[in-house]
Amino acid sequence: MIYGSNSRIITLFGRIHSSINVDIIVADSIPFLAEEIFASLFYLAGESRDPIKMVINNRGGDIDAGLMIVQAIEHVQAMGIDVEILVVGSSMSMASIILASGTRGKRYALDRSIVHLHAESRVIGGQGEDFERAKEYTDRLARQMYLLLAQRTKIPEYHLEQEQIAPRDKTMLENDEGRIKLVKRFLKNETYLSAYEAQAAGIIDAVIPPGDGKIMEIFNAPTEALSEKQEGGRA
């Protein structure tokens, strides 16, 4: 949803679902959130080439719906428009994949934020050939997720450092397949990162602590005017 009138801020709240996921939409979902975000990105891109800002407090959702949003972000970025992303509470599961897709150098989190990632969840039905086709489809979606993390974050480097993996494994950093393997190793368990850990892993680029004027810049509030207003209101 676009935040306020004449704003270039999109809020990514609720859960990430699309119209093809109607059978699993739950009570706390915003129906068809993926389509709303997709449309909002292109609407704002059509208005001007100014940066688009996305604010995340999100529990995640479906891979296919999330990748729809990632795809829109990539198309907007290809037009020369930055997509700045700010986590204000939690960025969980698929929301963190969207977070990683933001413009490098412009992915932020407030200092108490949590970034959560995990391996893909699989619920595959059918038998025989139908099962294999469904598995192939989910494998393709999962690969897109892992490839994005491998290419747009420092998770492979972070994992090597944290686990003190043998130097010979550092050659895995030199190509996408090796980096994907390291991402998968890192995500074999549920992973919860503080804002500063997420920065070290290259999922975000900067942490915004209290008093940092960057938060007001993101929300298009002139810090000088706010400061003057506060001064004028004091007795």
Q: Is 101 a catalytic residue?
A: no
Q: Where are the alpha helices (DSSP H) in 32-173?
A: 33-47, 63-78, 94-100, 128-152, 155-163
Residue 17 is a catalytic residue: no
Beta bridge partners of 114: 90, 194
Is residue 186 within 8 A of residue 121, CB to CB? The reply is no
Contact 60, 16 (CB under 8 A): yes
For residue 79, what is the DSSP state? T
Q: Taking Cα atoms as reference points, which of 224, 205, 202 lies closest to residue 213?
A: 224
Active-site residue, from 40, 93, 96, 101: 93
Give every CB contact of residue 63 below 8 A, 6+ residues apart in sequence: 94, 120, 138, 141, 142, 144, 145
- Which positions are catalytic? 93, 118
